Amino acid sequence: MVDTKTAPGQPERLQLLRVLGPAHIWALGVGIVLVGEYMGWNFAVGKGGMIAGLIACWVAGLLYTCVAMIDSEVTSTVAAAGGQYAQAKHIVGPLMAFNVGLFLVMAYTMLEAANAITIGFLLDTVAGMQGHSGLHQQPFIVLCIMFLAWLNYRGVLATLTFNLVITAIAFMAIIALFLSVQFGVSSVPLDFSAVTTDPMPYGWIGILASLHFGLWYYLGIEGTCQAAEEVRSPARSLPYGTMAGIMTLLIAATMTWYVCSGLIPWEYLGQAGTPLFDAARVTGNRGLMVLLFIGTMFSTLASANGCINDASRAWFSMGRDRYLPIWFGAVHPVYRTPYRSIIFLVPIALIFALGAPLDQVVTFSILSGLLGYTFMTFNMVMFRKKWPLDTIKRGYVHPMHPLPTIVLLILCATAYVAVFLGYGTQLIAMVSFYIIASLWFHFRRYRFVRRGDQFTMPWPRPEGY
Amino acid sequence: MAYKPPKQSFAGQIFDVITLLVLTVGALYLPLYLGLAGAAKTPAPIANPTWEALGQNATEQQQWAALGVTDPAAANDIITARFDYSFSWMALVVMAILVIGYFVLVVRLSDKEYRDVIAERFGVKKR
């Protein structure tokens, strides 16, 4: 989807076509994130109990509402492909952009690995239900990652269109399960007795700790800004589409918590690999089981496919800007895809999908996302400071600044403590990784970067520089 | 005068690729592989478990059965496993310093690089 636009006296420049509206932005955001309802969120119940799981769902919803508000303003102004990576280049500097690029790659690659693990686990569960227990999950994990990488290698348009369809089916499956349970299809009744008998098994510290996996309900909604350059009216479409996506996910997340907490004992739910499918199993209704099996497969495949797409583009962009070896900036001569980046990320996804437990992989993905949300807070302050409201035309100005930034920063700090409770080593490992990578970039890699090319927006000189 | 970056050799690019791979796998996967990382959720199974002793009411027992677990002994570890949230304040402070220090480091070094970018894009500012 490229177009050529040539200004008088300027060389011809390829631009992406502006064809997307608010509905596409909504679909893009919900499509990436919906898998969070099918797996991973339930570890929040494991970390704090049923009530903690619900509070984490809503508090994380508030965090992501702040993310959506801030992101809508910056993205509708920095309407360039690459999303937060392009924002960081223009507002903070190259090293921050390199880190944001890595956040995106790691968050999406780990999410891809988590999706592949879930597919293997689901097939193992279903095989066991059919009397074929002990299925080897590894070949299915490898097959899933390799097949989706191959699809992305060959071209993206058809697969992403297909993604939208299968995401819609996965979303309808959640609604169908909720309505079916409400209308008495389940052979086992909803039971919320744990809410009264064992409401907070860990006390208040469990509520705090559960925020860690509460983020999983919405992780990736900020991916809507990746399409900023392809949106017809960024000022209207990005805020409407993103905020509508958050509202949809808040409703879906609450329904998911309600059905799963009512049908599954919280101790089981807190460690389940496929909670919505398990809820369908408890109903005893074969049709619902098949529907939620399909929903889980579709949501994980759609998400993994989107993750390969987004991670490889972020890696490719960094190669093109020489933040990474330029070798990664190559486009396939026939398929026009960033094929080297796609291939390079496959073994990394495989290593984690085959060798690490689901909750650990999910934690790595969440941590990279969390570091990215922390970046958004000071990025927003710097954006308003370097270009005050009257200096450049903004597509959208978010209200009540700096309140959303302050709330986001407080919630991010709380989420770091939540991850620290139970997963402190991973937190230290991840931050150490980014520190070493940053030093590597600044002292070795940056000399290969063309300075002036890092600022391409038609803005005036930033204040203070 | 615009900065002209050196051309990186093919061997140099390969070296950088390997460095990144080693960094990623070494920093993230090795702690998992060596068992240095992991959720501190430990089962505390009870002796002679029954559904009642494990605190499961009649509906919850039906739910366990629908999930394929009919023997309370099989659910013993799952039901009794708990995270250990005891922590040292010192470790929490170290974590906070690490995260804040990381962002301070990145923003300060970025600012140095950003000044190069702005100077090249807009010209050196006259005082």
pLDDT for A94-150, tens place per residue?
A: 999 999 999 999 999 999 999 999 999 999 999 999 898 889 999 999 999 999 899
Query: Testing the interface with A: which of B25, B36, B64, B85 to mutate, by most A Cβ within 10 A?
Result: B85
- Residues 16-55 (B) with a CB less than 8 A from some CB of A: 16-17, 19-21, 23-25, 27-29, 31-33, 36-41, 55
Percent of chain B with pLDDT over 70: 94
Asked whether residue A259 is domain-assigned, the answer is: yes
pLDDT, tens digit, 9 for 90 and up, residues A24-46: 777 777 877 888 999 999 999 99
Question: What span, in angstroms and rounded, lies between the C-alpha atoms of A84 and A90?
Answer: 10
CB B59 to CB A193 under 8 A? yes
> What is the predicted pLDDT for the residue at A8?
45
Q: Band of the pLDDT at B39, cuts 50, 70, 90? A: low
Residue A185 has pLDDT above 50, yes or no: yes
CB B63 to CB A352 under 8 A? no
Q: Band of the pLDDT at A22, cuts 50, 70, 90? A: confident
**Smallest CA–CA separation between A90 and chain B, in Å?**
9
CB B37 to CB A264 under 8 A? no
> What is the predicted pLDDT for the residue at A11?
43
Q: A155 near B19, Cβ under 8 Å?
A: no
CB B110 to CB A93 under 8 A? yes
Q: Band of the pLDDT at A446, cuts 50, 70, 90? A: very high
The β-bridge partners of A14 are A4
> What is the predicted pLDDT for the residue at A19?
67
Q: In this complex, is the C-beta atom of B126 within 8 Å of any C-beta atom belonging to chain A?
A: no
Asked whether residue A104 is domain-assigned, the answer is: yes
* Complex-level ipTM: 0.89
> What is the predicted pLDDT for the residue at A295?
94
**Smallest CA–CA separation between A16 and chain B, in Å?**
24
Question: What span, in angstroms and rounded, lies between the C-alpha atoms of A47 and A28?
Answer: 30
User: Mean pLDDT across the stretch A397-410?
Assistant: 95
Q: What is the CATH number of the domain that holds A140?
A: 1.20.1740.10
pLDDT, tens digit, 9 for 90 and up, residues A292-345: 999 999 999 888 888 888 888 889 889 989 999 998 988 888 888 889 999 999
Residue A168 has pLDDT above 50, yes or no: yes
CB A324 to CB B20 under 8 A? yes
Q: Band of the pLDDT at A229, cuts 50, 70, 90? A: low
Contacts of B34 in chain A (CB under 8 A): none
Task: Give the chain A residue whose CA is nearest to the CA of B95.
Answer: A428
Q: In this complex, is the C-beta atom of B2 within 8 Å of any C-beta atom belonging to chain A?
A: yes
Of A194, A433, A444, the CB nearest to B27: A433
Contacts of B90 in chain A (CB under 8 A): none
Q: A45 near A53, Cβ under 8 Å?
A: yes
**Smallest CA–CA separation between B77 and chain A, in Å?**
10
> What is the predicted pLDDT for the residue at A94?
97
> What is the predicted pLDDT for the residue at A10?
44
Closest CA to A68 of A112, A13, A119, A30: A30
Of B79, B95, B114, the CB nearest to A428: B95
User: Mean pLDDT across the stretch A64-84?
Assistant: 83
Contacts of A432 in chain B (CB under 8 A): 27, 98
Of B24, B75, B99, the CB nearest to A416: B99
Question: What span, in angstroms and rounded, lies between the C-alpha atoms of A83 and B82?
Answer: 40
What type of residue is A111?
Answer: L
pLDDT, tens digit, 9 for 90 and up, residues B95-121: 999 999 999 999 999 999 999 999 999
**Smallest CA–CA separation between B43 and chain A, in Å?**
11
User: Mean pLDDT across the stretch A206-217?
Assistant: 93
CB B59 to CB A191 under 8 A? yes
Which stretch of A241-255, A386-400, B95-109 has the lowest confidence by average pLDDT? A241-255
Asked whether residue A332 is domain-assigned, the answer is: yes
Q: A207 near A51, Cβ under 8 Å?
A: yes
Q: Band of the pLDDT at A227, cuts 50, 70, 90? A: low
Question: What span, in angstroms and rounded, lies between the C-alpha atoms of A447 and A451?
Answer: 9
The residue whose two tokens read 């994380």 is A60
Q: Mean pLDDT of all residues in chain B? A: 90
User: Mean pLDDT across the stretch A166-184?
Assistant: 92
What type of residue is A416?
Answer: Y
A338 by Cβ neighbours in 10 Å (0-12 / 13-18 / 19+) ranks as buried
Scored b (16 or more CB within 10 A) or e, A43-81 reads bbbbbbbbbbbbbbbebbbebbbbbbbbbbbbbbbbbbb
Q: Band of the pLDDT at A7, cuts 50, 70, 90? A: very low
**Smallest CA–CA separation between B48 and chain A, in Å?**
19
Residue A2 has pLDDT above 60, yes or no: no
CB A198 to CB B55 under 8 A? yes
**Domain boundaries, position A448:** 24-452
Q: A293 near A378, Cβ under 8 Å?
A: no
Q: Mean pLDDT of all residues in chain A? A: 88
Q: How far is CA A25 from CA A87, A229, A232, A369, B46, in A?
A: 18, 12, 11, 20, 51
Of A197, A431, A461, the CB nearest to B102: A431
Contacts of A465 in chain B (CB under 8 A): 114-115, 118, 122, 125
Give this prediction's pTM.
Answer: 0.89
Of A326, A422, A448, the CB nearest to B83: A422
**Smallest CA–CA separation between B78 and chain A, in Å?**
6
Cβ–Cβ pairs < 8 A, chains A and B: 225
Of A94, A425, A427, the CB nearest to B36: A425
* Per-residue tokens: A381: 């302050």
Query: Testing the interface with A: which of B21, B106, B116, B122 to mutate, by most A Cβ within 10 A?
Result: B106
Query: Testing the interface with B: which of A47, A85, A96 to mutate, by most B Cβ within 10 A?
Result: A96
Cα A210 off chain centre by: 18
Percent of chain A with pLDDT over 90: 60
Q: In this complex, is the C-beta atom of B93 within 8 Å of any C-beta atom belonging to chain A?
A: no
**Smallest CA–CA separation between A151 and chain B, in Å?**
24
> What is the predicted pLDDT for the residue at A236?
78
Q: Band of the pLDDT at B37, cuts 50, 70, 90? A: low
Question: What span, in angstroms and rounded, lies between the C-alpha atoms of B89 and A100?
Answer: 30
Instruction: Determine phi and psi for A137, rounding to 5 degrees.
Output: -80, -30
Residue A70 has pLDDT above 60, yes or no: yes
Query: Testing the interface with A: which of B51, B104, B117 to mutate, by most A Cβ within 10 A?
Result: B117
Question: What span, in angstroms and rounded, lies between the C-alpha atoms of A201 and A48?
Answer: 7
Residue A5 has pLDDT above 50, yes or no: no
Asked whether residue A205 is domain-assigned, the answer is: yes
Of A95, A324, A421, the CB nearest to B85: A421
Asked whether residue A15 is domain-assigned, the answer is: no
Which stretch of A184-198, A222-236, A383-397, A442-456 has the lowest confidence by average pLDDT? A222-236
Angle subtended at Cα B103 by Cα B101 and Cα B109, rounded to the nearest 5 degrees: 100
Count of domains in chain A? 1
